[in-house]
Structure 1
Amino acid sequence: MTEPPRTDTTEGTLPAEDGIRAAGAVYRDRLQSVLATALREEGQNVRRAAEVVATTFSARGVLYIFGSGHSHMFAEEAFYRAGGAARVCPVLKPPYMLHEGAVRSTVLEREPGHAADLLSGYRLEPERDCVLVVSNSGANALPVEVASVTRAQGLPVIAITSRAYAQAVRRPGPRLHEVADVVIDNHCPPGDALVRLADDLPPTGPASTVVGLALLNSLVVEACAIQLARGERPEVFLSANMPGAAEHNEKAVAALSARVPHL
């Protein structure tokens, strides 16, 4: 696969006279471009990831999802979600998220040696489960370590990351895309932001969450479709406000509560 084009956010500073008016439109245009590229270029990798997840669902296993910092939103997006797969367990430990201390979480995700603490309390079963690890830079120690540890235990590992960002980080150590079994590239630029408002300001307008969540939901939908094509009934949550939702969802919760501690 060819190297993804790198979006240069250091050029194209918005003209002062209409920068405010144009900024949102420029961001939307650039975001749409990155999203279109990712969806076009990563279709095969999304399908490979979906096949891994479908195999887990068919075996009545669990898809574990982990991301530190802002990437923890991927685990929350897929979990207990209207229209989402039921067999999903988010890996959520507050010190590695944001709400108990954003600065501290950034320190922790760069330190090696936290994977065991992070994964404690989750009953991973290598013979039928799989793991999705999300890290935009792909260079922080914690997501790389989680991917390495779970893969060594025998679980297939999927990654959503930016190869361009990972290659731009000048720090020693392996990158997430180097240790995962299936890699989905979000095609976001180093630093993530898409718009430079002024020469003396950092770029603004992040893209990795919008693009990455589209890729995540795409692979979950494909995994359920693969199950259906196999003659299986995928387990999908129904929005709580829809008729019959309580009865429908209670069955899935009852079946999974022993495996998914956050239910």
Structure 2
Amino acid sequence: MSEEPKDGEPHGGSEPARRFFDAAIGLLQRARDEDAETIAAAGTLIADTVASGGRLFAFGAGHSSLAAQDLVYRAGGLALMNLLAVPGAVGVDVMPATLGSALERVDGLASAVLDTSPLRSGDLLVIISLSGRNALPVEMAVHARALGIKVIGVTSVAYAAETKSRHASGTYLKDHCDIVLDSKIAVGDAELRLDAIPAPFAPASTVVTTALLQAVMATAATTLADRGIEPPLLRSGNVDGGHEWNARVFREYGDRIFYHQA
């Protein structure tokens, strides 16, 4: 977390922006260097799932859903990644917004969602939860693995040391994953402090989490290509030929792309 400016340093103008960029860049560098092995392992696991005919899903509640959505129906991304949505918990579109936070603490919800979803043994689920402490992501990971689904968790491991779990087991998301990507985000998710502002501010979790997952997807695509398998990538619909390219991918992989089904 970036500390308050030293005496004589400006508080306004571009200074807060520079401090935030510096903090975010520092976190990205740590993710690049410290998570290199787990990024490679996660990318390989996704490539294995694609090659074996499995389907890919991503889940996140609240703002963690932003990183999940960034993987779905995305130019340059794998077409097989589907969003696993929990009604009311996807983002701030629900009213009141606090309902989404409340749903994250409801026991049994994750199991009900998984049992009525297309997920099956041999598939892969990316679960994103900054704190990893709420019932919804923990139960999601536990139940998914019981169904034979591989789980990649993206979380801040620091929360397990500094907060109390809200799941009945007392465990965290990180305890129930095949692979864990640690975002290194400090508890509270705010990078800047200032005496004149009573709360820390400027969160960076979305920046880091999204970068981690795009690094994983890049690894997966490259791994497939190295095996002689064309990765099922989407192209931008705003470039010539993009729609035709994507239509072909949807035809070839339609049984594994659920967001494109009528």
TM-score w.r.t. length of structure 1: 0.90
**Matched residue of 1:78: which SS?**
coil
Given the alignment of the two structures, is residue 156 of structure 1 paired with residue 150 of structure 2, yes or no? yes
Structure-2 change in CA distance of 1:16 and 1:200 (3 Å): farther
Equivalent of 1:198, from 192, 195, 200? 195
Question: Matches of 2:131 and 2:8 in 1, distance apart?
Answer: 31
Equivalent of 1:251, from 244, 248, 251? 248
Q: Deviations along 1:48-86, whole A, 9 cap, x unmatched?
A: 111110011112321110011111112210011000001
Structure-2 change in CA distance of 1:13 and 1:142 (3 Å): farther
**Matched residue of 2:48: which SS?**
helix
Residue in structure 1 matched with residue 93 of structure 2 by the alignment? 99
Equivalent of 2:141, from 140, 147, 158? 147
Given the alignment of the two structures, is residue 84 of structure 1 paired with residue 77 of structure 2, yes or no? yes
Residue in structure 2 matched with residue 20 of structure 1 by the alignment? 12
Question: Matches of 1:207 and 1:165 in 2, distance apart?
Answer: 15
Given the alignment of the two structures, is residue 179 of structure 1 paired with residue 180 of structure 2, yes or no? no
Residue in structure 1 matched with residue 35 of structure 2 by the alignment? 42
Question: Matches of 2:254 and 2:229 in 1, distance apart?
Answer: 21
Residue in structure 1 matched with residue 205 of structure 2 by the alignment? 208
CA drift of 1:44 comes to 0.1
Question: Matches of 1:160 and 1:55 in 2, distance apart?
Answer: 19
Residue in structure 1 matched with residue 130 of structure 2 by the alignment? 136
Q: Deviations along 1:219-258, whole A, 9 cap, x unmatched?
A: 0010011111111111100000112111110122234444
8 Å CA contact 2:55–2:81 kept in 1: the answer is yes
Residue in structure 1 matched with residue 110 of structure 2 by the alignment? 115
CA drift of 1:260 comes to 3.6
Question: Matches of 1:13 and 1:138 in 2, distance apart?
Answer: 32
CA drift of 1:93 comes to 3.0
8 Å CA contact 1:131–1:157 kept in 2: the answer is yes
The amino acid across from 1:87 in the alignment is: L
Equivalent of 2:235, from 224, 235, 238? 238
Question: Matches of 1:235 and 1:185 in 2, distance apart?
Answer: 27
Unaligned runs of 5+ in 2: none
8 Å CA contact 1:14–1:196 kept in 2: the answer is no
CA drift of 1:16 comes to 8.4
The amino acid across from 1:195 in the alignment is: L
Equivalent of 2:226, from 212, 226, 229? 229
Question: Matches of 2:247 and 2:115 in 1, distance apart?
Answer: 26
CA drift of 1:199 comes to 6.3
Question: Matches of 1:255 and 1:147 in 2, distance apart?
Answer: 30
The amino acid across from 2:241 in the alignment is: G
8 Å CA contact 1:122–1:261 kept in 2: the answer is no
Question: Matches of 1:185 and 1:61 in 2, distance apart?
Answer: 25
Residue in structure 2 matched with residue 170 of structure 1 by the alignment? 164
Q: Deviations along 1:81-133, whole A, 9 cap, x unmatched?
A: 00000111111233112211320010110222111333354211213x11110
TM-score w.r.t. length of structure 2: 0.91
8 Å CA contact 2:78–2:234 kept in 1: the answer is yes
CA drift of 1:170 comes to 2.7
Structure-2 change in CA distance of 1:247 and 1:27 (3 Å): same
Unaligned runs of 5+ in 1: 1-6
Identity of aligned residues (%): 33
8 Å CA contact 1:80–1:86 kept in 2: the answer is yes
The amino acid across from 1:182 in the alignment is: I
